[in-house]
Structure 1
Amino acid sequence: MLWDPESCSSTRSTQPPLTKSAGASQQTPKRMMLWAVKTAQRGRLLKGGRHFGRSAGREGEAPEEPEPGQEQQQAGRRSLARRSRLHQQEEALDTARESAASAMSHRASSSSSSFSLADCEVIGFDLDHTLCRYHLAHSAPLIYESFAQYMVKEKGYDKELLNVTPESWDFCCKGLVLDMEDGNFLKLSEDGSVLRASHGTKHMTPEEILETYGRKEWKHFKTMSGMVSRSAKYYSYDNYFDLPGALLCARIVDGLNKHSPRRKYEFWKDIIAAIQHNYKTSAFKAPGRWPPTLHVVLHTTVQAPPAYSTENCGTYFPEVKSNPEKYIQYCPDSVKKWLRRLKDNGKILLLITSSHSDYCRLLCEHTLGNDFADLFDIIISNALKPGFFSQSPNQRPFRTLENDEEQEALPALDKPGWYSQGNSTHLYELLKKMTGKLEPKVVYFGDSMHSDIFAAHHYNNWETVLILEELSGDHDMFSTETESEPLEKKGKYERHHPKALNYASKQWGSFFVDGVSGKGGAEEILVNTWSCKCVCAYSTITIPSIEAIADLPLDYRFTRFSSSGSVTAGYYPKPPKSLLSSGEPMATK
Structure 2
Amino acid sequence: MLWDPESCSSTRSTQPPLTKSAGASQQTPKRMMLWAVKTAQRGRLLKGGRHFGRSAGREGEAPEEPEPGQEQQQAGRRSLARRSRLHQQEEALDTARESAASAMSHRASSSSSSFSLADCEVIGFDLDHTLCRYHLAHSAPLIYESFAQYMVKEKGYDKELLNVTPESWDFCCKGLVLDMEDGNFLKLSEDGSVLRASHGTKHMTPEEILETYGRKEWKHFKTMSGMVSRSAKYYSYDNYFDLPGALLCARIVDGLNKHSPRRKYEFWKDIIAAIQHNYKTSAFKENCGTYFPEVKSNPEKYIQYCPDSVKKWLRRLKDNGKILLLITSSHSDYCRLLCEHTLGNDFADLFDIIISNALKPGFFSQSPNQRPFRTLENDEEQEALPALDKPGWYSQGNSTHLYELLKKMTGKLEPKVVYFGDSMHSDIFAAHHYNNWETVLILEELSGDHDMFSTETESEPLEKKGKYERHHPKALNYASKQWGSFFVDGVSGKGGAEEILVNTWSCKCVCAYSTITIPSIEAIADLPLDYRFTRFSSSGSVTAGYYPKPPKSLLSSGEPMATK
Q: TM-score, normalised by structure 2?
A: 0.84
The superposition leaves residues 433-468 of structure 1 with CA deviations (integer Å, 9 ceiling, x where unpaired) of 000000000000000001000000000000000000
- Checking the alignment, whether the CA contact within 8 Å between 1:278 and 1:314 is kept in structure 2 is yes
| Alpha-carbon distance between aligned partners in 2 of 1:186 and 1:323, rounded to the nearest angstrom | 36
**Residues 67 and 526 (structure 1 numbering): CA distance in 2 closer, same or farther, change over 3 Å?**
farther
SS in 1 for 2:74: helix
**Residues 540 and 68 (structure 1 numbering): CA distance in 2 closer, same or farther, change over 3 Å?**
same
- Checking the alignment, whether the CA contact within 8 Å between 1:172 and 1:247 is kept in structure 2 is yes
The residue number in structure 1 matching 2:361 is 386
| Alpha-carbon distance between aligned partners in 2 of 1:472 and 1:479, rounded to the nearest angstrom | 12
The residue number in structure 2 matching 1:517 is 492
- Checking the alignment, whether the CA contact within 8 Å between 2:454 and 2:478 is kept in structure 1 is no
The residue number in structure 2 matching 1:238 is 238
| Alpha-carbon distance between aligned partners in 2 of 1:154 and 1:47, rounded to the nearest angstrom | 58
Post-superposition shift, 1:227?
2.3
Please provide the CA RMSD for this pair: 7.8
Post-superposition shift, 1:35?
3.9
- Checking the alignment, whether the CA contact within 8 Å between 1:37 and 1:95 is kept in structure 2 is no
| Alpha-carbon distance between aligned partners in 2 of 1:102 and 1:370, rounded to the nearest angstrom | 40
Report the more deviating stretch, 38-47 or 406-415: 38-47
- Checking the alignment, whether the CA contact within 8 Å between 2:2 and 2:330 is kept in structure 1 is no
| Alpha-carbon distance between aligned partners in 2 of 1:61 and 1:505, rounded to the nearest angstrom | 78
The superposition leaves residues 316-372 of structure 1 with CA deviations (integer Å, 9 ceiling, x where unpaired) of 001001000000000000000000000000000000000000000000000000000
**Residues 577 and 479 (structure 1 numbering): CA distance in 2 closer, same or farther, change over 3 Å?**
farther
- Checking the alignment, whether the CA contact within 8 Å between 1:2 and 1:245 is kept in structure 2 is no
- Checking the alignment, whether the CA contact within 8 Å between 1:360 and 1:381 is kept in structure 2 is yes
- Structure whose CA Rg is larger: 1
Q: TM-score, normalised by structure 1?
A: 0.80
SS in 2 for 1:51: helix
**Residues 336 and 174 (structure 1 numbering): CA distance in 2 closer, same or farther, change over 3 Å?**
same
- Checking the alignment, whether the CA contact within 8 Å between 1:53 and 1:81 is kept in structure 2 is no
Post-superposition shift, 1:493?
17
**Residues 72 and 472 (structure 1 numbering): CA distance in 2 closer, same or farther, change over 3 Å?**
same
Post-superposition shift, 1:156?
1.4
| Alpha-carbon distance between aligned partners in 2 of 1:483 and 1:274, rounded to the nearest angstrom | 31
**Residues 340 and 207 (structure 1 numbering): CA distance in 2 closer, same or farther, change over 3 Å?**
same
**Residues 518 and 56 (structure 1 numbering): CA distance in 2 closer, same or farther, change over 3 Å?**
same
- Checking the alignment, whether the CA contact within 8 Å between 1:20 and 1:563 is kept in structure 2 is no
Post-superposition shift, 1:535?
0.2
The superposition leaves residues 250-307 of structure 1 with CA deviations (integer Å, 9 ceiling, x where unpaired) of 000000000000011111111111111111222211xxxxxxxxxxxxxxxxxxxxxx
- Checking the alignment, whether the CA contact within 8 Å between 2:17 and 2:229 is kept in structure 1 is no
Percent sequence identity over aligned pairs: 100
SS in 1 for 2:480: coil
The superposition leaves residues 147-185 of structure 1 with CA deviations (integer Å, 9 ceiling, x where unpaired) of 111111111111111110000000000000000011100
**Residues 51 and 497 (structure 1 numbering): CA distance in 2 closer, same or farther, change over 3 Å?**
closer
Which of 383, 387, 390 is 1:415 aligned to? Answer: 390
| Alpha-carbon distance between aligned partners in 1 of 2:254 and 2:186, rounded to the nearest angstrom | 16
The superposition leaves residues 225-249 of structure 1 with CA deviations (integer Å, 9 ceiling, x where unpaired) of 0126421111000000000000001
The residue number in structure 1 matching 2:151 is 151
Report the more deviating stretch, 380-389 or 483-492: 483-492
**Residues 140 and 61 (structure 1 numbering): CA distance in 2 closer, same or farther, change over 3 Å?**
closer
**Residues 496 and 105 (structure 1 numbering): CA distance in 2 closer, same or farther, change over 3 Å?**
closer
- Checking the alignment, whether the CA contact within 8 Å between 1:334 and 1:547 is kept in structure 2 is yes
- Checking the alignment, whether the CA contact within 8 Å between 1:23 and 1:111 is kept in structure 2 is no
The residue number in structure 2 matching 1:375 is 350
| Alpha-carbon distance between aligned partners in 1 of 2:489 and 2:464, rounded to the nearest angstrom | 29
Post-superposition shift, 1:477?
4.1
- Checking the alignment, whether the CA contact within 8 Å between 1:446 and 1:465 is kept in structure 2 is yes
**Residues 130 and 63 (structure 1 numbering): CA distance in 2 closer, same or farther, change over 3 Å?**
closer
| Alpha-carbon distance between aligned partners in 2 of 1:483 and 1:152, rounded to the nearest angstrom | 28
**Residues 78 and 456 (structure 1 numbering): CA distance in 2 closer, same or farther, change over 3 Å?**
closer
Report the more deviating stretch, 165-174 or 11-20: 11-20
Report the more deviating stretch, 369-378 or 2-11: 2-11
Post-superposition shift, 1:588?
1.3
**Residues 422 and 217 (structure 1 numbering): CA distance in 2 closer, same or farther, change over 3 Å?**
same
**Residues 573 and 263 (structure 1 numbering): CA distance in 2 closer, same or farther, change over 3 Å?**
same
- Checking the alignment, whether the CA contact within 8 Å between 2:131 and 2:521 is kept in structure 1 is yes
- Checking the alignment, whether the CA contact within 8 Å between 1:114 and 1:560 is kept in structure 2 is yes
SS in 2 for 1:401: strand
Report the more deviating stretch, 219-228 or 499-508: 219-228
SS in 2 for 1:106: helix
The residue number in structure 1 matching 2:425 is 450
Post-superposition shift, 1:56?
13
The superposition leaves residues 28-86 of structure 1 with CA deviations (integer Å, 9 ceiling, x where unpaired) of 46843634874999999999999999999999999999999999999999999999999
Post-superposition shift, 1:18?
8.8
**Residues 22 and 427 (structure 1 numbering): CA distance in 2 closer, same or farther, change over 3 Å?**
farther
| Alpha-carbon distance between aligned partners in 1 of 2:20 and 2:82, rounded to the nearest angstrom | 41
The superposition leaves residues 396-419 of structure 1 with CA deviations (integer Å, 9 ceiling, x where unpaired) of 000000010000100000000000
**Residues 500 and 430 (structure 1 numbering): CA distance in 2 closer, same or farther, change over 3 Å?**
same
Structure 2: stretches of 5+ with no match in the other structure: none
| Alpha-carbon distance between aligned partners in 1 of 2:73 and 2:331, rounded to the nearest angstrom | 76
- Checking the alignment, whether the CA contact within 8 Å between 2:182 and 2:263 is kept in structure 1 is yes
**Residues 24 and 249 (structure 1 numbering): CA distance in 2 closer, same or farther, change over 3 Å?**
closer
**Residues 59 and 340 (structure 1 numbering): CA distance in 2 closer, same or farther, change over 3 Å?**
same
- Checking the alignment, whether the CA contact within 8 Å between 2:374 and 2:396 is kept in structure 1 is yes
**Residues 115 and 205 (structure 1 numbering): CA distance in 2 closer, same or farther, change over 3 Å?**
same
**Residues 376 and 550 (structure 1 numbering): CA distance in 2 closer, same or farther, change over 3 Å?**
same
| Alpha-carbon distance between aligned partners in 1 of 2:46 and 2:291, rounded to the nearest angstrom | 68
| Alpha-carbon distance between aligned partners in 2 of 1:409 and 1:70, rounded to the nearest angstrom | 48
**Residues 158 and 434 (structure 1 numbering): CA distance in 2 closer, same or farther, change over 3 Å?**
same
**Residues 569 and 16 (structure 1 numbering): CA distance in 2 closer, same or farther, change over 3 Å?**
farther
**Residues 69 and 164 (structure 1 numbering): CA distance in 2 closer, same or farther, change over 3 Å?**
closer
- Checking the alignment, whether the CA contact within 8 Å between 2:175 and 2:486 is kept in structure 1 is yes
Post-superposition shift, 1:5?
2.8
The residue number in structure 2 matching 1:560 is 535
**Residues 211 and 277 (structure 1 numbering): CA distance in 2 closer, same or farther, change over 3 Å?**
same
- Checking the alignment, whether the CA contact within 8 Å between 1:126 and 1:447 is kept in structure 2 is yes
**Residues 515 and 436 (structure 1 numbering): CA distance in 2 closer, same or farther, change over 3 Å?**
same
| Alpha-carbon distance between aligned partners in 1 of 2:489 and 2:16, rounded to the nearest angstrom | 28
- Checking the alignment, whether the CA contact within 8 Å between 1:543 and 1:572 is kept in structure 2 is yes
Post-superposition shift, 1:475?
2.5
**Residues 102 and 66 (structure 1 numbering): CA distance in 2 closer, same or farther, change over 3 Å?**
same
**Residues 255 and 54 (structure 1 numbering): CA distance in 2 closer, same or farther, change over 3 Å?**
closer
**Residues 34 and 55 (structure 1 numbering): CA distance in 2 closer, same or farther, change over 3 Å?**
farther
Report the more deviating stretch, 266-275 or 343-352: 266-275
- Checking the alignment, whether the CA contact within 8 Å between 1:18 and 1:458 is kept in structure 2 is no
| Alpha-carbon distance between aligned partners in 1 of 2:59 and 2:79, rounded to the nearest angstrom | 27
| Alpha-carbon distance between aligned partners in 2 of 1:391 and 1:48, rounded to the nearest angstrom | 31
| Alpha-carbon distance between aligned partners in 2 of 1:326 and 1:489, rounded to the nearest angstrom | 16
SS in 1 for 2:275: helix
| Alpha-carbon distance between aligned partners in 1 of 2:153 and 2:53, rounded to the nearest angstrom | 78
Structure 1: stretches of 5+ with no match in the other structure: 286-310
**Residues 462 and 23 (structure 1 numbering): CA distance in 2 closer, same or farther, change over 3 Å?**
farther
- Checking the alignment, whether the CA contact within 8 Å between 1:432 and 1:439 is kept in structure 2 is yes
Post-superposition shift, 1:542?
0.2
- Checking the alignment, whether the CA contact within 8 Å between 1:21 and 1:562 is kept in structure 2 is no
- Checking the alignment, whether the CA contact within 8 Å between 1:21 and 1:111 is kept in structure 2 is no
